[in-house]
């Protein structure tokens, strides 16, 4: 309840000043009682109305309780503090209510994953994270299976896709941002069209040009990496383009005033300035590719009961999305439980990647220290000494 901001009664306006409400630094005791009292009155009124009418709709009762709470809270705020305070409190209330409503599905998903997947992952920990499921079966205990082979395949496939698509995407974004030629308009149109293309189209494209001509030998980690790279390319390009636009134009003007050519200005000024942002958008692309299922469904070809395949260039290879899909569709209850464990491992990897992007993109000293590890050793030492 302390999140509901409060406003003190406006002081008498001085000549030449604007009469504005003064926001208190924290919620007072009276404001907390006003919120609690309004909420209790709204719930009691709606509960009494539903009981008299004989209704038992839980969602409808909750919605009507919230509406009654807002109306009562607005009347109380207006009678005690005035119209300006009422508008400010209602605006704050709606912002917090909308944020809470948006977070409820996320918390439900994460909570359900923890309830169903954590017992599988925690049993004989860390066996589930480093073993494969080759020796498991429908009647075998859940702890005999593992997602080790799927994690290896995910890391190799996403790593290959990032190694190829990342530099190409950044170079394409640099060309679009620094060039004003007619050809850049064509490239921008293609990137925009690819951004809105479903991910399964990338998987079908690689399947038709690479997998199908090679028949059974076509499915591999390399084919999955191709599909993931095609999917990452427009996403990272658009993000990198927006990052490069944040580079101040005064830096370009200073470089051109010193007589630096355009290519040197881009390589020595623009890209180093946007280094942290480019790393952040690249990690976001990796996080998006890690959990992609449609792009690898027709290309990886790995089986959930397969052994480790450390070579992404030869043979079918498993990854975490395929592991979850195959075990989730199994009629065996134990394999469905293993799918929940694989889903939890996948979500944890994605959350760690997004947390890393938050640290890098925060602009704080922590992000600066973390981004320093992406520098060459000699640059790292010089920046530390400086």
Residues 179-203: pLDDT tens digits? 877 888 888 888 888 888 888 888 8
List Cβ neighbours of 327 (8 Å cut-off, separation of 6 or more).
133, 304, 335, 336, 338, 339, 342
Q: Is residue 59 part of a domain?
A: yes
Residue 386 has what pLDDT?
47
Total-model pTM = 0.73
What is the C-alpha separation between 112 and 58, in angstroms, rounded? 21
Structural domain including 201 reads 142-385
pLDDT in tens, 364-382: 444 455 445 445 554 555 5
pLDDT band at 326 (very low <50, low <70, confident <90, very high): confident
Rounded mean pLDDT, 154-178: 91
Q: Is residue 66 part of a domain?
A: yes
Do 164 and 217 sit in the same domain of this protein? yes
Do 89 and 148 sit in the same domain of this protein? no
Do 260 and 334 sit in the same domain of this protein? yes
- Domain with residue 330: its CATH number is 1.10.3720.10
Residue 219 CA neighbour count, 13 Å, CB half: 19
Q: Is 289:251 a contact under the CB 8 Å cutoff?
A: no
Do 260 and 340 sit in the same domain of this protein? yes
Do 356 and 217 sit in the same domain of this protein? yes
Q: Is residue 115 part of a domain?
A: no
List Cβ neighbours of 228 (8 Å cut-off, separation of 6 or more).
157, 158, 161, 165, 202, 289, 292, 295, 296
Would you say residue 71 has pLDDT above 90?
Answer: yes
Rounded mean pLDDT, 84-113: 90
Q: Is residue 117 part of a domain?
A: no
Q: Is residue 169 part of a domain?
A: yes
What is the C-alpha separation between 168 and 38, in angstroms, rounded? 57
Q: Is residue 325 part of a domain?
A: yes
Q: Is 201:228 a contact under the CB 8 Å cutoff?
A: no
Q: Is residue 100 part of a domain?
A: yes
pLDDT band at 3 (very low <50, low <70, confident <90, very high): very low
When divided into structural domains, the chain yields a total of 2
Q: How far is CA 324 from CA 1, 117, 138, in A?
A: 40, 12, 15
List Cβ neighbours of 313 (8 Å cut-off, separation of 6 or more).
220, 221, 222
Q: Is residue 259 part of a domain?
A: yes
């Amino acid at each position: 309840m302390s999140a509901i901001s409060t406003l003190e009664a406006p002081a008498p306006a001085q000549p030449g000043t604007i009469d504005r409400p003064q926001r208190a630094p924290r919620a007072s005791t009276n404001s907390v009682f006003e919120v609690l009292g309004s909420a209790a009155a709204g719930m009691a009124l709606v509960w009494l109305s539903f009981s008299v009418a004989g209704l038992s709709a839980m969602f409808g009762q909750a919605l009507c309780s919230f509406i009654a709470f807002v109306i009562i809270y607005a009347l109380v705020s207006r009678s005690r503090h005035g119209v300006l305070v009422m508008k400010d409190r209602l605006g704050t209330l709606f912002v917090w209510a909308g944020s809470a409503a948006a977070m409820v599905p996320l918390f439900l998903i994460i909570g359900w994953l923890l309830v169903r997947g954590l017992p599988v992952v925690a049993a004989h920990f860390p066996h589930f994270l480093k073993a494969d499921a080759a020796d498991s079966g429908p009647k075998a205990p859940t702890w005999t299976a593992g997602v080790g082979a799927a994690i290896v395949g995910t890391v190799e496939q996403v790593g290959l896709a990032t190694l190829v698509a990342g530099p190409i995407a950044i170079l394409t974004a640099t060309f679009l941002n620094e060039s004003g030629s007619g050809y850049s308009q064509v490239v921008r149109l293609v990137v925009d069209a690819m951004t809105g293309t479903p991910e399964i189209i990338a998987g079908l494209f690689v399947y038709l040009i690479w997998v199908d001509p090679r028949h059974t030998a076509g499915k591999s980690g390399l084919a999955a990496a191709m599909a993931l790279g095609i999917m990452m390319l427009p996403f990272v390009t658009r993000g990198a383009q927006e990052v490069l636009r944040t580079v101040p134009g005064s830096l370009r003007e200073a470089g051109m005033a010193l007589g630096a050519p355009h290519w040197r200005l881009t390589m020595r000024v623009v890209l180093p300035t946007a280094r942290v942002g480019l790393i952040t958008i690249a990690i976001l692309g990796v996080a998006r590719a890690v959990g992609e299922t449609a792009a690898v469904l027709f290309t990886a070809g790995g089986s959930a009961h397969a052994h480790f395949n450390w070579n992404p260039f030869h043979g079918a290879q498993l990854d975490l999305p395929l592991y979850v899909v195959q075990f989730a569709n199994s009629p065996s209850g134990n394999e469905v439980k293993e799918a929940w464990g694989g889903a939890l491992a996948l979500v944890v990897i994605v959350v760690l990647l997004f947390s890393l992007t938050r640290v890098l993109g925060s602009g704080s000293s922590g992000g600066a220290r973390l981004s320093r590890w992406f520098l060459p050793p000699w640059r790292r030492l010089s920046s530390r000494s400086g």
